[in-house]
Amino acid sequence: MNRYILALTAVVICTVPAQAQTMQHHDHSAMQHAVDGTGPSSAKAVPREPGQSAFAAIQEIVSLLEADPQTDWSKVDIEALRSHLIDMDNVTLRSNVQTMPVDGGYRFTVTGEGNVTSSIRRMLSAHAATMNGVRGFSYEVAETPGGSILTVTASEPSDLQMLSGLGFIGVMTLGAHHQEHHLALASGHSPHH
């Protein structure tokens, strides 16, 4: 009886990993066909969202780098992009903003605690350097305890209503330069970080 149990156990131990490998390969193959639309499962609905926005941004950049035969992988630094996305997350979700009208614009006092303070300082100084003069807006940044002060003024009085409506985080989105910046960071070219 013991020999029978030992023999059965040996068969199960040897068979299960082989079946698992076959299933993993099969599942991966089926999933790849679903993603690239080459297999029979391409008619089924396939999830497109990776589940988290920072992960999705990184995945998009990695896909672009993989598709570009000119990518110099010795310079690629995905961790730099990840750090920048952490800064973006901290500034967007974990900072406190006080808005005050000034002559011709608005002053945004942006503060936070711990790592958020550093994120604020990096993001605001980088944004001001990139966007100063664009759309006729002037950007000035000064450090304050716990963060930075961003003063944005408009050359056209008609733009004051726009600045008011945008508020701090809306102003930070102006220029739609973030995607190119993310690719530059990941490629090892950092214009201001």
pLDDT tens string 96-115? 999 999 999 999 999 999 99
Query: Does residue 142 lie in a domain region?
Result: yes
34 and 67 in a single domain? The answer is no
Please check whether residue 171 is in contact with residue 138, taking contact to mean a CB–CB distance below 8 angstroms: no
**Statement: residue 139 has pLDDT above 90:** yes
68 and 155 housed in the same domain: yes
Does a structural domain hold residue 28? yes
β-bridge partners, 150: 108, 141
Cβ atoms of 147 and 121 closer than 8 Å: yes
Task: Report which of residues 122 and 45 the model is more confident about.
Answer: 122
Same-domain check for residues 25 and 101: no
Together in a domain, 66 and 9: no
Question: In sequence order, what are the residues at sequence separation of 6 or more whose Cβ sits closer than 8 angstroms to the Cβ of residue 83?
Answer: none
The C-alpha torsion from 122 through 145 and 134 to 167, rounded to 10°, is 110
- Distance between CA atoms of residues 177 and 170, nearest Å: 13
Asked whether the predicted pLDDT for residue 157 surpasses 80, the reply is yes
Residue 188: enclosing H or E segment and its boundaries? none
Residue 157 shares a structural domain with residue 94:
yes
Q: Into how many domains does the chain fold?
A: 2
User: Could you give the CA distance from residue 4 to residue 11 in angstroms, rounded to a whole number?
Assistant: 11
Please tell me whether residues 101 and 169 are part of one structural domain.
yes
36 and 117, same domain (yes or no): no
Asked if residue 70 belongs to a domain, the reply is: yes
Q: Does residue 111 share a domain with residue 70?
A: yes
- One domain for residues 64 and 107: yes
CB 98 within 8 A of CB 108: yes
**Residue-averaged pLDDT of the chain:** 81
Domain carrying residue 109: 53-186
Whether 193 maps to a domain, the answer reads no
Residue 177 falls within a domain, yes or no? Answer: yes
Residue 156: the pLDDT is: 93
The sheet that has 137-144: what strands, in order across it? 96-102, 105-111, 147-154, 137-144
Q: What is the structure's pLDDT at 2?
A: 39
Are both 23 and 98 inside the same structural domain?
no
**Statement to judge: residues 143 and 79 lie in one domain:** yes
**Beta carbons of 110 and 168 less than 8 angstroms apart:** yes
Is the residue at 86 inside a domain? yes
Residue range 52-94, pLDDT digits in tens = 899 999 999 999 999 999 999 999 999 999 999 999 999 999 9
Residue 77 resides in a domain:
yes
Q: Is residue 116 part of a domain?
A: yes
- Residues 26 and 80 grouped into a single domain: no
Radius of gyration of the chain (CA): 25
